[in-house]
Amino acid sequence: MKRIIFSLLVGILFLILQTTLLPSFPIHRIRPDILLIFTLYLAFLFPPIFGGILAFLMGTLMDLFSGNALGFYTFSRPLVFFAAQFFKERFYLEGFYSQFLFAFVSAILEGILILILMNALQSLSLGNLYPLLFTFLLPQSFFTGLATPPLFFIFQKGSSLLFPQPEKGMKERV
């Protein structure tokens, strides 16, 4: 329980950083989605049910502070979490490249899902939206991928320091 509450607080902290610190960078496209990275890490730290609920809450928080009124992230974040749960034991996710690729692909797929939802539920034409794939989605996914290995390392260190008997780490699980 302590771990769940702590993870939720860390999630709120990342949300605050994402809405305040990251937009203050001079280049807006260099803006990794640290909440997505954290959601991916939750897949290694929690069993599906608790982790799923946490991912759901992370998505709700994202929706709350974004201009998206319908709540796309409340739907997409648990999906990303379950996908990460499914793939974590099927791929080697220890090295820099594999972690980069894992986050990069997750960010791209989530972006495409959001694009589809925007097109389907908000009647926004794909013709108007597809330039965003290159101007936003690719750079942001790339930087999300780049930020993943160092952040995963920090999360691992942090969780092993904070909790005396941490869950099995990534190495033991793979």
Nearer Cβ to another protein (98/118): 118
Distance of CA 71 to the CA centre of its chain: 16
Nearer Cβ to another protein (119/156): 119
Both tokens of residue 153?
């390392």
Binding mask 85-124 for another protein (x = CB under 8 A): --------------------------x--x---x--xxxx
Q: What number of other Cβ atoms are within 10 A of residue 148's Cβ?
A: 29
Task: Look up residue 148 and give its amino acid.
Answer: T
Closest by CA to 11, choosing from 44, 34, 43, 45, is: 34
Q: According to CB under 8 A, which one of 39, 43, 44, 74 is a site residue for another protein?
A: 74
The residue to which tokens 């594999």 are assigned? 98
- Residue 162 contacts another protein per CB under 8 A: no
Nearer Cβ to another protein (126/154): 126
Angle CA(97)–CA(61)–CA(134) in degrees, nearest 5? 45
Q: What number of other Cβ atoms are within 10 A of residue 73's Cβ?
A: 26
Q: Which stretch binds another protein (CB under 8 A): 12-20, 38-46, 93-101, 149-157?
A: 12-20
Please state the closest distance from residue 153 (CB atom) to another protein, in A.
23
- Residue 17 contacts another protein per CB under 8 A: yes
What's the Rg (C-alpha) of the chain?
16
- Residue 165 contacts another protein per CB under 8 A: no
Q: At what angle do helices 72-88 and 34-45 cross, to 10 degrees?
A: 50
Interface residues toward another protein, by CB under 8 A: 12-13, 15-21, 23-24, 28-29, 31, 33, 35, 48-49, 52-53, 56, 59-62, 64-75, 78-79, 82, 111, 114, 118, 121-124, 128-129, 131-132, 135-137, 140
